[in-house]
Structure 1
Amino acid sequence: MTSHHKETYIHNNEFERLFHLTKKLLSISRSNEVLSEFIQALLDFYPESRMFLLLTHEDNQYTDLPIAYFERNIKFKNEVAFRAYQTGTIQVDEKNDERMLHIPLKGLQAMYGVLQLTLPTSKVIEEADFEILKHLADVSGNAFEKARLQEQLNQRLDDLNLLNETSHTLNSNLRLTDTVEYMTKQIQSSIQAEQVGFFFYNRYGEIETLTGSSEYFFEKNSEMLVVKISEEVKKRKEAFMITDMKNGNIESMYQSLLAVPMIHDRELKGAAIVLHHDPYYFTFEQFKLLQSLIYHFTLAFINSMLHEEMEQLAITDQLTRLYSRNYLDEKINESMEKDCLGTFILFDIDDFKQVNDTYGHLTGDDVIIQVANIILKNKRETDIAARWGGEELALYLPSVDVNKGLKIAKRLVKAVQQSTSPSVTISGGVTYWSAKKSEDTVTKLFNRADQALYEAKRSGKNRIVVDSSTSSDNLLHEE
């Protein structure tokens, strides 16, 4: 039908309203505003109507509008709406005292949905009404398509900028924890995730949470979820989305989940899990963006792990996994600059040569490892345990006075005698430094502990001796 013929159906003032509305709709750049204007226009033309818009794709920005989404079984649930969508023509359905019009919303490239307009049967639907509705639907469909394409283009540009920024930051040699914290914030801001967790599989195949993940993943109530998703990641070895975890029989306060494996050289290294309370929250575009982000993160994660492993090797004794003597020197120097006091204990395994001669050097190495593990088990996180050399081991206790240090040393002597196999004993020398003694140095501290250790050996072994200068300070009350 020509525009001239249309004009004969549509009253002049209505035609003018449509003309201005068309200009307005085609000038709008946001798809949610197009739909809002479309719905408002229909209400202006038909104030007695009710309406409902069925869209073919989900988008969180349309939450304030009377909108639902096509379901898989829409053909059976609403046959008339499906026919309108399939044919691209207005379909009419009359039930009871209402007349329901199903108006397709289409652009040049695709069909985007169906508007369900309900009017009382008392309202006469004329040819002009069909022309008005068809015109509004066609213009709104084209405007919606144009706005959607622009939004998608803008989103692609934003995603590319995000990936470039992320890649640049990840390649700037961040520490592993900083890398995880950065990625957690990036994912939370880019796809509005509520919880983001990163995990890796250790040498035993056990899953460990990376520091920098959301606090939720360090809580007890997240363990079952993490274990279940971890098993699924191991089985699938590909990214997956759960839109409603209630339907997936997973108990969680969160309903939407994205899981992306971290794969390097075809080997599964770990996974990222992203959560939101609402079901059907994440879009497919967000899912694809997350996969790209995790790809970049995985490369940075591997590089950070290798870098930190190399650093750890440089400061760690290979046999005992205790710190090296150089690292111990460095940490005591740092402690002397910032703390008020500290206690240093130097241990030696008694009659170690006899252990080697009796059982062999492999057993001798194992005994050193056993003693090192006992020290590690009994120290605080802030204490520094190191291999001094040979069968000598050291323990530095920052901000611990010599009385407490002596008790710790005696406890270790007892534990070694009771827990080693073959059973061995250790002797130890204890000393301390204090900010009151400004002339103290690391070297002097070591020499005093060494002299005290020599005295422990000379006086019978399997015991602890405090250096003489410490005893003379009357800071120590021997039992």
Structure 2
Amino acid sequence: MKLEEERVYEAFKQKFFHWFLSYEDYDNFSGVMKELLLLLKRELKMEQVSFFMFDPLSKTFYPEAMTGLETSRSPFDPSDLSVDIAAIADNEQRAIQIGRDGEYTTARIFLHPSEETIGMLQFVYPRHLPISEQLLKKIKQDFSVLFQKFRLISQGLSDEKRYEQLHRFAAKIHSSMQIDDVLEEIVNTLKQVYPSFTYHLLLSHDNQHCDYLPIKTLVFDESAENTAALRAFLTGRIQLEDSISLRRSILYAPIKGGQGVYGVIQITAPYIMEFPKKEINFISLLANTAGSALENAKLYEQSRRLVADLQLINETMHRLNANLRLQDAIEFMVNQIKQSFCADEVGFFMFEGKKRKLLPGSTPFFQSRQAKKYVKFVEKKMKTESDIIFVGDVHIQWYPAAPIYRSLMAAPMVQNGEIKGFSIVLHHQPYHFTFDMFKLLQSLIQHSTLAFANAILREELEKLVVTDYLTKLYTRRYLDEQLKTHISHPNKVKTKDFLFSFSE
């Protein structure tokens, strides 16, 4: 190495020492390398300095840091840096490659500090600049060590920062009992840790989501696009896949709690890459933490919903047992179901021998011709299965035209082991009713069936009291009472009803 080169290189190392003491952002490896390259370019008076990292998956180099945009001055095309790494490792002489093109010289220095990390420095400088091969070898020797140390420092600081974020993430989501807050914090933390990746939360359709979150419905089929995500959900293990068409690598991490898997985090890399093992472990830890918090939020929400359901059942039964007439009881139940389930139509039917009867108080839709298909469909199911019916999308099994209402629930009214009738609940949107609504409807109908039966018996008893057993006409005593009431309180008894009583 020439004396002038040695003097220049020593001056660079002195300035590097001062820079090293003042620089603080060591957790950003790309930023550290760029600052170092700028210092090297300035001190050695080079035209351009670039640093590349080797991707073992694609067997090529990708730019990690550079002092400026690549130009045509380089005889090497940086977009096609496919190099035989094994040949370079076996032959030290090939670790430095020099090419010349017109007024500029381009030198490549391959850094091979370990089997896991391979880098490459690329210098572009004027041909008249006196840079010898001995200086390039010295740079290779020093930068191989420096490259490895910077990478270790950057990884250590980055890991520390990420686990601090994970700690804050865990503390924040475990302090919240709102499912939407937990899901939002998952996305925000991932964006902070891996800002260049894109994310989606794959959840089942019975979850209610915020529109502003990147959430997709997890479809339970065996399509090619959904296989890896579905496998992660079913097995509870991280799944990896490479999308050749999109030129992306995708990781699926299950959101797993103590009682099950609640969804899948889809993490998409901006290019095809091999996820390092430590990154997979960190993502798995984050997903498990999120799963535990999401499970707690769901259990809290479920407990609140159960308390509300019990209060609803208690209030409903208290009201139904207040000696309501049948029509008033049906109207009350219809309103309760419409409010609780946001239902569009509610109908109650009773069996009278082989015939069915629509009970007064049901919504008017069930008196129309369009309702007949729904009623026949439910009646057939009830007689064959004798169980509650829960259909997320009636269109799947409808014929021949599309139905008006897509979501359907129906519950039998059973007394003493015998089906006395059934109730139908409809909504125009598919998959509107949840499984929790399905269970609540079953409880409401089971408890209300006895109240309906008592109301029917009470009305029949009232009719037996005021009619003759043989002739089925009103008794003389009842007609006298009605006549006295009509005379003393003409507004209390309707004239039409009174005349009808006498005409019978």
TM-score range (shorter-chain normalised) is: 0.5 to 0.7
Distance 1:259 1:322, change over 3 A: same
Distance 1:167 1:25, change over 3 A: same
Cα displacement (A) at 1:171:
2.0
- 1:248 is aligned to 397
Is structure 2 residue 493 aligned with structure 1 residue 395?
no
Is this contact kept in 2: 1:187–1:196, CA < 8 A?
Answer: yes
Cα displacement (A) at 1:273:
0.5
Is structure 2 residue 59 aligned with structure 1 residue 59?
no
- 1:38 is aligned to 186
Is structure 2 residue 226 aligned with structure 1 residue 78?
yes
Distance 1:98 1:77, change over 3 A: closer
Cα displacement (A) at 1:164:
2.2
Q: Distance in 2 between matches of 1:258 and 1:45?
A: 45
Q: Structure 2 unaligned runs (5+)?
A: 1-152
DSSP 3-state at the match of 1:216: helix
Percent identity (aligned): 36
Distance 1:140 1:312, change over 3 A: same
- 1:130 is aligned to 280
Cα displacement (A) at 1:29:
0.3
Distance 1:6 1:279, change over 3 A: farther
Q: Distance in 1 between matches of 2:338 and 2:261?
A: 32
1:346-380 alpha-carbon deviations (Å, 9 max, x no partner): xxxxxxxxxxxxxxxxxxxxxxxxxxxxxxxxxxx
- 1:447 is aligned to none
DSSP 3-state at the match of 2:394: coil
- 2:158 is aligned to 10
1:207-248 alpha-carbon deviations (Å, 9 max, x no partner): 221122223223342233223322322232221212211112
Q: Distance in 2 between matches of 1:175 and 1:340?
A: 19
- 2:261 is aligned to 111
- 1:299 is aligned to 450
Larger mean Cα displacement after TM superposition, 317-326 or 153-162: 317-326
Larger mean Cα displacement after TM superposition, 295-304 or 80-89: 80-89
Cα displacement (A) at 1:72:
3.9
Is structure 2 residue 337 aligned with structure 1 residue 187?
yes
DSSP 3-state at the match of 1:260: strand
Distance 1:180 1:339, change over 3 A: closer
DSSP 3-state at the match of 1:385: helix
Is this contact kept in 2: 1:323–1:384, CA < 8 A?
Answer: no
Cα displacement (A) at 1:76:
5.6
Larger mean Cα displacement after TM superposition, 97-106 or 73-82: 73-82
Q: Distance in 2 between matches of 1:61 and 1:328?
A: 63
Cα displacement (A) at 1:23:
0.9
Q: Distance in 2 between matches of 1:121 and 1:135?
A: 24
1:380-426 alpha-carbon deviations (Å, 9 max, x no partner): x746334xxxxxxx339xxxxxxxxxxxxxxxxxxxxxxxxxxxxxx
Is structure 2 residue 500 aligned with structure 1 residue 385?
yes
- 2:366 is aligned to 217
Aligned letter for 2:359?
L
Distance 1:225 1:141, change over 3 A: same
Aligned letter for 2:500?
A
Q: Distance in 2 between matches of 1:303 and 1:339?
A: 30
Task: Select 2:289's aligned residue among 139, 150, 153.
Answer: 139
Is this contact kept in 2: 1:103–1:114, CA < 8 A?
Answer: yes
Is this contact kept in 2: 1:225–1:252, CA < 8 A?
Answer: no
Aligned letter for 1:384?
L
Q: Distance in 2 between matches of 1:8 and 1:298?
A: 67
Distance 1:308 1:37, change over 3 A: same
Q: Distance in 2 between matches of 1:244 and 1:84?
A: 26
Is this contact kept in 1: 2:219–2:226, CA < 8 A?
Answer: no
Distance 1:151 1:206, change over 3 A: same
Distance 1:215 1:36, change over 3 A: farther
Aligned letter for 1:181?
E
- 2:126 is aligned to none
Is structure 2 residue 289 aligned with structure 1 residue 174?
no
Q: Distance in 2 between matches of 1:69 and 1:81?
A: 11
Distance 1:61 1:79, change over 3 A: closer
DSSP 3-state at the match of 1:120: coil
Is this contact kept in 1: 2:165–2:189, CA < 8 A?
Answer: no
Q: Structure 1 unaligned runs (5+)?
A: 344-380, 387-393, 397-479
Cα displacement (A) at 1:292:
1.1
1:178-214 alpha-carbon deviations (Å, 9 max, x no partner): 21122112222223322211111124x2222112222
* Structure with max Cα Rg: 2
Q: Distance in 1 between matches of 2:208 and 2:472?
A: 52
Is structure 2 residue 409 aligned with structure 1 residue 265?
no
Cα displacement (A) at 1:154:
1.9
Cα displacement (A) at 1:56:
4.9
User: Paired residues, what number?
Assistant: 347
Aligned letter for 2:384?
K
DSSP 3-state at the match of 2:376: helix
Distance 1:340 1:161, change over 3 A: closer
Q: Distance in 1 between matches of 2:493 and 2:454?
A: 38
Task: Select 1:98's aligned residue among 220, 240, 248.
Answer: 248
DSSP 3-state at the match of 1:193: coil
Task: Select 2:270's aligned residue among 120, 138, 143.
Answer: 120
For the aligned residue pairs, the C-alpha RMSD in angstroms reads 3.1
Q: Distance in 1 between matches of 2:384 and 2:232?
A: 42
Task: Select 1:227's aligned residue among 359, 376, 382.
Answer: 376
Distance 1:232 1:44, change over 3 A: same
Is this contact kept in 1: 2:330–2:359, CA < 8 A?
Answer: yes
Is this contact kept in 2: 1:6–1:131, CA < 8 A?
Answer: no
Aligned letter for 1:218?
Q
Is structure 2 residue 169 aligned with structure 1 residue 21?
yes
Aligned letter for 1:38?
I
Q: Distance in 1 between matches of 2:448 and 2:418?
A: 15
**Pairwise mapping of residues 415-426 of structure 1 onto structure 2 (< 5 A)?**
none
Aligned letter for 2:312?
L
Q: Distance in 1 between matches of 2:301 and 2:233?
A: 24
The two structures have a TM-score, normalised by structure 2, of: 0.62
Cα displacement (A) at 1:339:
5.4
DSSP 3-state at the match of 1:94: strand
Is this contact kept in 1: 2:392–2:432, CA < 8 A?
Answer: yes
- 1:280 is aligned to 431
Cα displacement (A) at 1:6:
13
